[in-house]
Amino acid sequence: MYVEVAGDGPPLVLLHGWAMHGGIFAPLVERLRGRFRMHVVDLPGHGNSRDCSVPLQLQACVDAIAEVVPAGASWCGWSLGGLIALHAAATRPADVPALAMLCASPRFVRGEDWKHGVAAEVFRDFASGLRDDYRGTLDRFVALEAFGSEHAKDEIRTLREGLFERCEPAASVLAEGLELLETTDLRDTLPGLQVPSLWLAGRRDRLVDPRAMRDAAALAPASTVHVVEHAGHAPFLTHGDEVATRLSALMEQLQ
């Protein structure tokens, strides 16, 4: 599994979202390199981990990442990466002292008792689209990620340029990721979460509703919620200083 290490200070693991790779965090890494030693992971099947044999499943990913990052590192997960980070914090509290959920939810899909998720058909449509129009489907997903942001055009351009900057992810791995987003529900882990958590939302996010993140944080002890005004699904690209400040505040709690 490919991990890029940058900066000096307390260790921080960064996990990217669906179809992307760790390189998308470059603006955030530049802001934080003087404060933290960051371990920026390419998830299995993505970026420079394209040929990694680890399945894109929660426990398998957590175990594989834990082998290549230092124990005692806090984990920050964006979107799909948030599910992996949350699972790590819930199952390895001795190794993961703090958790940051960046536009991520314990459950992405709407249900009778989870009204602020997205419709399951959204992920099924993208899965179907991968078979018929791989690149067009990824382009539509990028547009959805940026939709609503006050800097949508710039955000779309950055995400599009980043998609294939490293190795092109396999369609089979992307399908596994969509299934993970559609079927995972980690809400039951939240009341027993033993580490402080930060829930960073984008006010205009169309994939992860800020209200869902507030509801999730309310279930977790020692949680903090911050909503980035005018941001979409990738506030670390459009409001990097604000995101960096909030992450730094979370890490300062550990000192």
pLDDT along the chain (255 residues), means of 10: 97 95 94 97 94 95 98 97 98 97 97 94 88 82 75 78 76 91 97 97 94 98 96 92 97 85
Name beta bridge partners: 228: 202
Centroid of chain to Cα 48:
17
Active site residue 223: no
Task: Report which residue type is found at 243.
Answer: V
Q: Domains of the chain by range and CATH?
A: 3-252 (3.40.50.1820)
| Phi, psi (rounded to 5 degrees) for 145 | -60, -40
Active-site entry in 42, 205, 209, 215: 205
Active-site entry in 21, 87, 226, 233: 233
| Phi, psi (rounded to 5 degrees) for 18 | -60, 135
Predicted TM-score (pTM) of this structure: 0.93
Placement of tokens 């089979």 in the chain:
172
Give the SS3 label for residue 153: helix
Active site residue 233: yes
Active-site entry in 16, 49, 74, 79: 79
pLDDT in tens, 45-103: 999 999 999 999 999 999 999 999 999 999 999 999 999 999 999 999 999 999 999 99
Active site residue 172: no
Give the SS3 label for residue 183: helix
Name beta bridge partners: 162: none
